Amino acid sequence: MSAVTVRVPAKVNLQLAVGPLRDDGYHDLVNVFHAVSLFDEVTAAEPDDRSAPGATVTVRVEGESAADVPASDDNLAVRAARALAGWAGRSYRADLLIRKAIPVAGGMAGGSADAAAALVACNELWGLGLPLADLMEIGADIGSDVPFALLGGTAVGTGRGERLTALPTSGVFHWAFALADGGLSTPRVYGECDRLRADAGEEAAWPSVSEPLLAALREGDAGRLGRALTNDLQPAALALRPSLEGTLRAGRGRGALGAIVSGSGPTCAFLAESEAHAAELAAALKGADGCRAAVTASGPVPGATVAG
């Protein structure tokens, strides 16, 4: 096989409960992930004669804010491909092409998605045949959200978010997403969350999964799910990007069942009553404060999958 293309979804966090800061710099979480139909594509190809001599893995990036993604050894997809070759105990070569639609540094795990897609694509290109569980273990070292981008669907993550249990859901949920100008640094948002808590004299509680959220997912009840959405990083994201208040207000004003900052932001997620309502929300959000562009998507969808 000379090239493999993998499609990988973005995620939104339905519950992001942030516990105490650990000694390793991470926070213990309860993180309910939900994969939505906004996809990046990663192609892994056998290098041809024009590839840089000596380079084992190269990368090019196209599409949504491609210029903001490092096309270097720091790229998470490159790191993932190299880690996979290391796991297999050989020096494999690949040229990666990433086509982005997931917002960069947007709180939708776009970088982790590309790492997950690179693992699936190179596993296939190099004929390694590693099972999903091995790819998830390799991915967890690249980023906390990589295992979920491999798994997809809806799942609860504990630890730093990498220990996953799939959750039963019914039906399809329809979403509108408001994309912001520029990204927010994830470590900075976690740091601001710690700072706000310290200022308020709050101890971080040990996180636990929301029972009303689980029931809403099981029953496919969008109204209940909208009311159960929570994100402990939201106050920190709003403190760092106050214009997002206007974005959230605009979606609520148009009848969103739930309105929330996605992960560490700045993308905002709005749960809709139907596909048509999601389209209406997206159209209204385009003019809102803090919103650069708006898209619709639905979930849950599968994780990183070989295309075609």
Binding region for ligand C5P (CB under 6 A): 25-27, 29, 143-145, 160-161, 186-187, 190
CB closer to ligand C5P, 11 vs 160: 160
Q: Which residue in this structure is represented by tokens 């840089």?
A: 52
Name the minimum Å distance from CB 195 to ligand C5P: 13
Task: Work out whether strand 154-158 and strand 57-63 pair parallel, antiparallel, or are unpaired.
Answer: unpaired
Tokens for 185, please give them: 């640094």
CB closer to ligand C5P, 159 vs 246: 159
* Burial (Cβ within 10 Å: 0-12, 13-18, ≥19) of residue 240: middle
CB closer to ligand C5P, 143 vs 251: 143
How many whole angstroms separate alpha carbon 157 and alpha carbon 31? 5
- Give the Cβ contact number of residue 298 at 10 Å: 16
CB closer to ligand C5P, 43 vs 262: 262
Name the minimum Å distance from CB 1 to ligand C5P: 30
Tokens for 240, please give them: 């760092």
Q: Is 161 in contact with 250 (CB distance < 8 Å)?
A: no
- Residue 108 has phi, psi (to 5 degrees) of -120, 15
How many whole angstroms separate alpha carbon 290 and alpha carbon 24? 34
Which active-site residues does the annotation give?
A: 11, 145
Name the minimum Å distance from CB 20 to ligand C5P: 10
Name the minimum Å distance from CB 82 to ligand C5P: 16
